């Protein structure tokens, strides 16, 4: 019941092996993903799809950056990891981010400075990047498959975030 990278790409595995797949065969594909990472449409009998894989990826992004699994006991009675993040952004983002990701900023005193001074978190480059990544996770994990972001757009956005966070690194790579 633990999500692994191998959970992503179920649609590709399924469609690539469709000729050899028999409904009489016992297969882990019958599980259709890991609880908490499988999209809602799979529970309603929908076929495996790349949009389902996008959903799983979005949930993983949210999990990685807030440090809570989608199966956490707090996510009950209509509250999900997605609702939890969506309700907190952007004003309460600092409350939901995994404290491990904030340790370096805390050591340098910048989080306390930002909170105490009332500065807008959007002016901080690192917090902007974290918020942007969480927004990607939300865009990937919409309940409706048609509303989910395409993975090609996810890659473009993630690269853009990386380039804004490390602009000089990009220039150094181009020069070499």
- Position 82 pLDDT exceeds 70: yes
Percent with pLDDT over 90 in the chain:
32
Q: Mean pLDDT score of the chain, rounded to an integer? A: 76
Residues, the chain: 176
Choose which CATH entry (1.10.1060, 1.10.510, 1.10.490, 1.10.10) describes domain 5-175: 1.10.510
pLDDT value of position 60: 93
Q: Peptide bond preceding 90: is omega within 30 degrees of 0, i.e. cis?
A: yes
Phi-psi region of 148 (alpha: psi -120 to 50; beta: other; left: phi over 0): beta
pLDDT value of position 117: 45
pLDDT higher for 143 or 112?
143
- Segment among 37-46, 63-72, 89-98 with least mean pLDDT: 37-46
pLDDT value of position 23: 41
Confidence of residue 104 (pLDDT cuts 50, 70, 90): low
- Helices (H), strands (E): how many in the chain? 10, 0
Percent with pLDDT over 70 in the chain:
65
Please state the pTM of the whole predicted model: 0.74
């Amino acid at each position: 019941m633990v999500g692994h990278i191998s959970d992503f790409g179920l649609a590709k595995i399924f469609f690539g092996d469709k000729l050899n797949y028999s409904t009489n065969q016992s297969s882990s594909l019958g599980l259709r993903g890991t609880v908490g990472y499988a999209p809602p449409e799979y529970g309603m009998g929908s076929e495996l799809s790349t949009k389902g894989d996008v959903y799983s990826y979005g949930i993983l992004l949210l999990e990685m950056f807030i440090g809570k699994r989608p199966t956490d006991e707090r996510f009950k009675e209509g509250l999900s990891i997605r609702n939890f993040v969506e309700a907190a952004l952007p004003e309460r983002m600092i409350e939901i981010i995994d404290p491990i990701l904030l340790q370096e900023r805390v050591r340098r005193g910048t989080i306390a400075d930002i909170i105490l001074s009332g500065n807008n978190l959007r002016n901080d480059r690192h917090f902007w990047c974290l918020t942007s990544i969480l927004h990607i996770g939300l865009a990937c994990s919409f309940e409706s498959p048609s509303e989910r972001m395409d993975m090609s757009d996810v890659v473009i956005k993630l690269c853009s975030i990386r380039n804004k966070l490390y602009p000089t690194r990009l220039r150094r790579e181009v020069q070499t």
